[in-house]
């Protein structure tokens, strides 16, 4: 492997000149720069990452802490990861992948100076990683919103707004009895931050709009989806609107509703909170609030880069606005009443 000295020799300049050509931190005359660049090309020279990291205290690597268990939401996670990796490359950064499960990971890569910044996803309200991230010498960006985020940058979809938007949309269409199928019980109990916030937003909007609102958990499997639909319809048999915030269960929920003889959107309107491709790839495109996973990943990287370039930069929290797109699965209660018994309509007036 050619070293920087080999290049310098070949170009007839000092090693520092080569370094400055590479980094652009000092002006180099045209002819000199050309000679150096030729030598680099001829020798196929590539700076040694370790040497560079040692001398400059920059690794050009960021750590990404991701939940790699076979999770309910692999699709969403994958999209986050893709967004992060792609954005990182645009800043000339590579990504070191850590699993949530490897508790020592954060400390290891941080105090070992393996990375310049850390991005952690799937953050819970009281996430055990928070103290580690605060203690790290490198800036950290969380994808999610923990209870205590002092000194840490956070990005996420405005899930409170997302929850509210779904209710507002359904209420606007005339629905007054609304149900919600959410995360699996485990996520619910873990107080994963996104889920708590969706629920609050929905509750808040339901209260202020005066509509009844019933939310229950939903497992990710086909069987679980059927059970949850059954239970929800038992608890609140008169609902005409349903919010589903569970990517994995989505298709099964739709199927289960049909199995009960309910037509979508004639008998029941359905709005999802999920990545866009999931909403549009269904046989009947779903009205949905998009989870812009790729965009969030990109913002996370950008925030990390910002804090690297200006260490004085204070931590900030950025919540991306929720946008609801109406597709084929929601309709006004009025038009629904045309195709169904008067019961539903009268209930709507209660």
Query: What are the residues binding its own copies (CB under 8 A)?
Result: 1, 44, 46-54, 59, 61, 64, 68-70, 74-75, 77-79, 81-82, 85-86, 89, 94-99, 102, 105, 108-109, 111-114, 137, 221-223, 251, 255, 277, 281-283
Window 305-324: residues binding DNA (CB under 7 A): none
Query: Which DSSP string do the residues of 242-300 spell out, in sequence order?
Result: EEE--TTTHHHHHHHHHHTT--TTTT-EEEEEE-HHHHHHSSSPPEEEE--HHHHHHHH
Q: What is the spatial distance between Cα 242 and Cα 271, in angstroms, rounded to a whole number?
A: 6
Q: What is the spatial distance between Cα 203 and Cα 200, in angstroms, rounded to a whole number?
A: 5
Tell me: does residue 128 bind DNA (CB under 7 A): no
Q: How far is the CB of 14 from DNA (least distance, A)?
A: 4
Q: With 0-12 CB in 10 A as exposed, 13-18 as middle and 19+ as buried, what is 311?
A: exposed
- Residue 57 structure tokens: 């205290």
Which does residue 17 bind out of DNA, its own copies, none, counting CB within 5 to 8 angstroms by kind? Answer: DNA
Tell me: does residue 227 bind DNA (CB under 7 A): no
* Region near DNA per CB under 7 A, out of 28-36, 204-212, 256-264, 323-331: 28-36
* Region near DNA per CB under 7 A, out of 18-26, 268-276, 299-307, 333-341: 18-26
Q: Which residues pair with 244 in a beta bridge?
A: 181, 272
Near DNA by CB under 7 A: residue from 38, 41, 42, 56 = 56
Q: In what order do the strands lie in the sheet with 212-216?
A: 212-216, 177-181, 241-244, 269-274, 287-290, 324-325
- Comparison of 311 and 314: residue with beta carbon closer to its own copies: 311
- Comparison of 208 and 281: residue with beta carbon closer to its own copies: 281
- Tokens 């999920």, residue located: 274
- Residue 212 structure tokens: 């009844």
- Comparison of 128 and 311: residue with beta carbon closer to DNA: 311
Positive or negative torsion for Cα 211, 217, 218, 223: negative
- Comparison of 53 and 347: residue with beta carbon closer to DNA: 53
Which does residue 27 bind out of its own copies, DNA, none, counting CB within 5 to 8 angstroms by kind? Answer: DNA
Q: Nearest to residue 201, comparing CAs of 185, 226, 178?
A: 178
- Residue 40 structure tokens: 């680099």
Q: Nearest to residue 239, comparing CAs of 259, 217, 257?
A: 257
Near DNA by CB under 7 A: residue from 38, 41, 48, 172 = 48
Tell me: does residue 34 bind DNA (CB under 7 A): no
Which does residue 136 bind out of DNA, its own copies, none, counting CB within 5 to 8 angstroms by kind? Answer: none
- Comparison of 19 and 176: residue with beta carbon closer to DNA: 19
Residue 150 contacts residue 322 (beta carbons within 8 Å):
no
Q: How far is the CB of 271 from its own copies (least distance, A)?
A: 19
Contacts with DNA, residue ranges (CB under 7 A): 1, 3-5, 12-17, 19-20, 22-23, 25-29, 31-33, 45-48, 51-52, 54-56
């Amino acid at each position: 492997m050619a070293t920087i000295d080999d290049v310098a020799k070949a170009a007839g300049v000092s090693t520092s000149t080569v370094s400055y050509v590479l980094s652009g931190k000092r002006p180099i005359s045209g002819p000199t720069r050309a000679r150096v660049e030729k030598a680099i090309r001829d020798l196929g020279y590539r700076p040694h990452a370790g040497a560079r990291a040692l001398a400059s205290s920059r690794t050009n690597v960021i750590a990404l802490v991701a939940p790699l268990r076979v999770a309910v939401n692999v699709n969403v996670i994958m999209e986050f990861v893709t967004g992060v990796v792609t954005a990182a490359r645009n800043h000339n950064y590579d990504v070191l992948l850590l699993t949530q499960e490897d508790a020592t990971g954060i400390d290891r890569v941080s105090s070992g100076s393996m990375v310049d910044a850390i991005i952690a996803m799937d953050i819970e309200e009281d996430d055990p990683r928070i103290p580690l991230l605060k203690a790290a010498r490198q800036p950290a960006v969380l994808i999610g919103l923990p209870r205590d985020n002092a000194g840490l940058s956070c990005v996420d979809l405005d899930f409170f707004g997302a929850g509210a938007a779904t209710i507002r949309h359904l209420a606007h269409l005339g629905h007054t009895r609304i149900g919600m199928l959410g995360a699996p019980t485990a996520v619910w109990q873990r107080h994963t931050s996104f889920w708590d916030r969706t629920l609050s937003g929905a509750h808040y909007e339901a209260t202020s709009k005066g509509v009844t609102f019933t939310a229950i958990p939903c497992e990710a499997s086909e069987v679980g989806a059927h059970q949850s639909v059954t239970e929800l319809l038992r608890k609140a048999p008169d609902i005409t609107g349903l919010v589903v915030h569970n990517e994995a269960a989505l298709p099964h929920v739709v199927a289960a509703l049909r199995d009960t003889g309910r037509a979508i959107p004639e008998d029941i309107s359905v709005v999802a909170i999920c990545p866009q491709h999931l909403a549009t790839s269904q046989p009947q495109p779903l009205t949905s609030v998009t989870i812009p996973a790729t965009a969030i990943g990109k913002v996370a990287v950008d925030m990390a880069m910002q804090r690297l370039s200006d260490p004085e930069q204070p931590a900030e929290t950025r919540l991306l606005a929720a946008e609801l797109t109406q597709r084929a699965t929601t309709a006004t209660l009025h038009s629904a009443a045309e195709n169904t018994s008067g019961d539903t309509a009268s209930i709507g007036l209660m």
